[in-house]
Amino acid sequence: MFILQLYSGQNTSAGDFIYRIARPAEGLSSIDGITVKNLDLLNAGNKQLLLNVPLLILHHLSDPDLLPVIKERRNQGFRTIYELADNFRFSQSHKTQNGSASDYPVIMEEIIRRCDAVQTTSFALRNRYQDLNDEFFIFPNLVDKVEYREPRGSDKLTIGWGGSARHLDDLKQITQLLIEWVSQHPGVRLAIMGSKSIRQIFEELPPEKLLLRDPGSLKDYLSFLDEIDIGIAPLLSTEFNACRSDVKFLEYASHEVVPVCSRFGPYIEIAEEGESLLLFNSPAELIQHLERLRTDVELRSKIARNALQWVGKHRLSNQKLWESRAEIYRKFLPKYVNDFEWNDNLGQSNLADLIMPAIKAKNPAALLMNAVDLHPDDYQAYYFYGWGLSKQGRYKHAVTPLRKALSLRPDSIRTAELLVRVLLINGDLDSALRTVEHGLTIEPNLKNLLELKLTIQHITDAIAQGDDIGVTALS
């Protein structure tokens, strides 16, 4: 059995990648007869590769160019599974700079509908998206090992938290009370591993009461956990947080750190409250738990050990769990699989290494032109070069590389959409209409394309009536 896991733009040293992509690949590949490869979408310019893979897993992708791939795979008898990572309908990562919702949730919903099954980490996510697909599988996050620790003294106590900048609002709700409590007790300090914006909200504490660490890899974070005794996990009661994974609890527990978590979202149905973790409803209740743990060393030791043992029993990576997942995947394999052979050269493109830094640069077009020179046959290189030119306001120049991208990959909905928007800004309504109609021959009912066509018609009608209209579009 061969499985290709397709992802995009992920930091391969971060927890999300390791828990949901790297670890499953390693676990499944340890089973005789199973090979799993991971590939960045930006390095998958060869569409034929995606069409021929016996089983394709899409990790939280929102690229409309996958729609025709899924359709063609199904026509050939191949199946595709979608990995749903979070509640993207409420995700801040899918907001444009002006705060309005982007088109990505629309595309993601359509991809989920087209796939043969969806896998995710929690029942909360499944419950919110099961209207899009009848086949859902829950694959909880697993840890590689549990770390027993030496008994710790009672004279010093470190409270810790580490995570992404997206938790800033979650932490702000507890900041002031936590600072006041830590300040009151000579043997207590606070440890924070995160972005500058998060570290700054705790800088009121004196240096001897505060341990700060820059963001890092999962390996760095797990080392950070060795420095703390109690791990906190505050969550605001938002729709996005309700569907978060329980990874923070798993990480605390597997390192014998006492987990103190919000009574919300991923933590309310895990382990046993009072035995393997403590839950709180408010910042005041969090402080009550911390005070109790500060004064009761035996309680700290008991909860930390119970949490570690719970993870060891329920969430430790092992052959049996991977074999159970493999059995599910086997049901989606085509009748014939022996014809496929993986060629490592197909997945060795370095386009992602060229594009990702360029996207964040002030002058992306100059860097993206280099991608075209190095990958003259890859439509994505031309697409991103055209995107970079449009980001710099060079709309007339952007047309040529975008048309080249579309000639290399005629069913690229992503390219067609951007080209239409650029042509609109240039005032070339006829070419914009031809391009959107080309896209509609591939995806006749795609909302994004239908709305673009309607926009073109409105502009054309307004001009015909003599209205003085300025043509604008999102680039």
| Euclidean distance between CA atoms 197 and 189, whole angstroms | 20
**Token duo for residue 194:** 């995160």
- Residues 359 and 392: beta-carbon distance below 8 Å: no
Give per-residue burial for 315-342: e unless 16+ CB within 10 Å, then b.
bebeeeebeebbeebeebbeeeeeeeee
pLDDT of 316 reads 96
| Euclidean distance between CA atoms 155 and 150, whole angstroms | 15
Minimal CA–CA distance to 429: which of 383, 390, 471, 475?
471
CATH superfamily of 157-314: Glycogen Phosphorylase B; (3.40.50.2000)
pLDDT of 465 reads 84
Minimal CA–CA distance to 81: which of 19, 133, 18, 12?
133
Cα dihedral: 119, 121, 124, 128 (round 10): -30
| Euclidean distance between CA atoms 267 and 249, whole angstroms | 8
- Residues 192 and 213: beta-carbon distance below 8 Å: yes
| Euclidean distance between CA atoms 111 and 88, whole angstroms | 13
Per residue of the chain (475 residues), give pLDDT as tens: 999 999 998 889 999 999 999 999 999 999 999 999 999 999 987 888 899 999 999 999 999 999 999 999 999 999 999 999 999 998 755 443 333 334 778 999 999 999 999 999 999 999 999 999 999 999 999 999 998 988 776 678 999 999 999 999 999 999 999 999 999 999 999 999 999 999 999 999 999 999 999 999 999 999 999 999 999 999 999 999 999 999 999 999 999 999 999 999 999 988 788 899 999 999 999 999 999 999 999 999 999 999 999 999 999 999 999 999 999 999 998 876 556 777 766 666 789 999 999 988 888 998 899 999 999 999 999 999 999 999 999 999 999 999 999 999 999 999 999 999 999 999 999 999 999 999 999 999 999 999 999 999 999 988 888 776 655 444 4
Minimal CA–CA distance to 8: which of 54, 53, 58?
58
**Token duo for residue 454:** 């309607």
Could you tell me the residue ranges of all domains in the chain? 2-141+317-345, 157-314, 350-464
| Burial class (CB within 10 angstroms; exposed 0-12, middle 13-18, buried 19+) of 274 | exposed
Minimal CA–CA distance to 473: which of 420, 406, 403, 405?
420
Task: Compute φ and ψ for 192, nearest 5 degrees.
Answer: -130, 130
pLDDT of 49 reads 87
**Token duo for residue 170:** 């979650």
Q: 125 in helix, strand or coil?
A: helix
**Domain 2-141+317-345 matches domain 157-314 at the CATH topology level:** yes
Assign a CATH topology to domain 2-141+317-345.
Rossmann fold (3.40.50)
Find how far residue 86's CA is from the centre of its chain.
7
Angle between helices 429-442 and 447-464 (to 10 degrees): 150
pLDDT of 336 reads 66
Q: Which CATH class is domain 350-464?
A: mainly alpha
Minimal CA–CA distance to 350: which of 48, 63, 40, 56?
40
pLDDT of 46 reads 80
Task: Compute φ and ψ for 184, nearest 5 degrees.
Answer: -75, -20
Minimal CA–CA distance to 20: which of 163, 218, 195?
218
Q: What spatial distance separates the first Cα and last Cα of the chain, rounded to whole Å?
A: 42
Q: 472 in helix, strand or coil?
A: coil
pLDDT of 97 reads 33
- Residues 69 and 35: beta-carbon distance below 8 Å: no
